[in-house]
Each structure stands twice: as C-alpha cells, then as structure tokens.
Amino acid sequence: MRVVITGAAGFIGSRFAELLLAEADRLGYDDVVLLDALTYSGRRENMAAALAAGARFVHGSINDPAVVDEVVTGAHAVVHLAAESHVDRSILGARDFFTTNVLGTQQLLESARRAGVSRFVHVSTDEVYGSIAQGSWREDHVLAPNSPYSASKAGSDLAALAYHRTYGLAVMVTRCSNNYGPRQFPEKVIPLFVTNLMDGESVPLYGDGLNVRDWLHVDDHCRGILAVLEGGRPGEVYNIGGGTELTNRELTTRLLNLCGADESSVRPVEDRLGHDRRYSVDWGKIHAELGYEPRVAFETGLADTVAWYRANESWWRALKESVA
C-alpha cells in the first residue's frame, strides 16, 4: 500500500517519515512517497534517512493539481504536514499562508477524494483555538485564531472536516502544541535562541516573557500522528499535547543554563502583534481512544536538542544566514 507524506522535507514531516518507515511492515505500507516543494524551510538532507530506508521523493507543490493527482492516485493514505508555519512571517506577508494552507489543502483533499484515499490525516496546530487564560482546550472548543497563520490553519481544518461530512473522505485532524527537537528550522524560538547563544549573541524575548506554551517533543508528536493514522476515527479531531507548560521566560532561563549563558544575554523586544497569551490542549481523548501519552521528558528532550545543534553546526549555519 502507498502512503503519501506531504511536507516531508520539513522538521516534523521528515521525522514522521522516519518513524513510519520503522513501522511500515507492520502497517502494510510498501510504497512511502515523500512530497515537498522544497521552499526555504524544506531541506533534502532532512529526508536522507527516510530515503535510505526505501522511501521515494517527489518534488512538487500541493497547489499543483497534476503533481498531487499523480502521487495520490492509488494511495491508501495521506498524512498532510505541508504548511507555511511561522507566525512572524505570516504577519509580514499573509498571502502565502492562505495560498498554501487553505488552497493547497483543498487541492490535496479534492485529489484524495477523487482517488478514493482510505485514510487522510490533516496535521494542524493548537493555535487555531486562540488564547486561553485557564484550563485546557478540548477538541470541540470554538476556533478563534488570532494571527494570519493560525487563521489559515483554522480554514484548512474546516475544509478537511467538510470533505469528510460532505463527501465521506476519511479525514482525521490532529492539533498539536509547540514542537521542539532536532532539525527544527532556526527561525523558531528554541533553535534561534540556542544558535544565537552558541554564537555569543543575545536572544530576543518578546514583551514581558510571560506568554505560556505547552512543549511537545517532535518524536511524541509523530507517535501521536501515527496512532491517529492507524486507529483514529474519521471525522474526529485529536489534540496532541506534551504536558509541559512554561512561560517564554522560563524556557529562556533553561536554554541559558544549558548553553552556559546568563540573563545578560536576554534582549527584551517589542511584543509580537496579536501575541496569544497562553496555549493549553486537553489530550485526554487521544489517550483514552488510542493510548497516546508523551514519552520524552522535557528536561531530557531539551538537553538532547541543544546537544544536537552543538553537534550539527554545518546543518544550521547556512540556513540561519539565509534568513538573517
């Protein structure tokens, strides 16, 4: 059987491909197709292990009907991770986010519908819920996105669920908390701060630093996606959380300690426009239905991530300079 992974050259997509390939025989997938447009954050080298394990790569955009039709025809499943995902970039220029995240997702859904795909996992984000002062979001919480990025992801979520309700496409939606781990593009907060500190530079902390995020190791996220691919119920949404809520200042302090720096390396900057105060997902549903729970302790995962960036300067140096 064929499974198509979109966004497979990215941070999460490439790691998901590796974990799926480790389970491919058990799951019955003998044709793993990696689809990616190789935009600025998609790197061929991220797919090296997956390609060595037998996957095949198709270079193309989810907005290209011919490419999408070709890869999904005959496919049993699609795992859709391709997206524009950096909030700051969406504030500076929103059009690409709606083009890729909404229209690209609709193209993929339509091609999958026509091809008779049996399983379609649409990977989304907790940011579609907006901000929550207390408690945690359940999957039936109203969507209230506050950035162009999160609004585009909310639109893609609704499109995916509409294709299930209208056409019967077996869509499952996952919404994850903030990911971290090796190979994350160095514009995101953890690799940005780590690589800045490695270079003896300051780290830019937004506002008062008290915005709260729940942190999820990429391996745990990918295990959650895999569980939904295998056993999720069509038409359902599944939150995937990490269980570690920290203020941005608390996260910064941990990174300073791991990198041998102190508070003098922190540079307060003006807060981001529309900056959500707190995210928190209730992941009780995926735990109860599919047995998911995070395995990577945050202290261990964060230390290992910092160590990876130290050991792989050749991976991130050119990338960071390209977006400077």
Mean pLDDT by 10 residues, the chain (324 residues): 98 98 96 96 95 98 98 98 88 91 98 98 97 97 95 97 98 98 96 97 96 98 98 98 97 98 96 92 98 98 98 92 71
- Paired sense of beta strands 245-247 and 75-80, if any: unpaired
Whether the Cβ atoms of residue 212 and residue 276 lie closer than 8 Å to each other: no
| The two three-digit tokens of residue 77, written as one number | 């499943």
Count other Cβ atoms within 10 Å, centred on residue 219.
19
How high is the pLDDT of residue 302?
A: 98
Contacts of residue 143, Cβ cutoff 8 Å, sequence gap at least 6: 128, 129, 130, 154, 157, 158
Considering the chain, tell me which residue range(s) the CATH 3.90.25.10 domain(s) occupy.
186-213+244-279+296-323
Catalytic positions, please? 126-127, 149
Name the residue type at position 292. Y
**DSSP secondary structure letters along 162-190:** HHHHHH---EEEEEE-EEE-TT--TTSHH
How high is the pLDDT of residue 76?
A: 98
pTM: 0.96
- As a CATH number, domain 186-213+244-279+296-323 is 3.90.25.10
How high is the pLDDT of residue 318?
A: 86
Whether the Cβ atoms of residue 56 and residue 93 lie closer than 8 Å to each other: no
Pairwise CA distance, residues 185 & 10, whole Å: 8
Considering the chain, tell me which residue range(s) the CATH 3.40.50.720 domain(s) occupy.
2-179+215-240
CATH class, range 2-179+215-240: alpha beta
- Paired sense of beta strands 75-80 and 2-6, if any: parallel
**At 308, phi and psi to the nearest 5?**
-65, -45
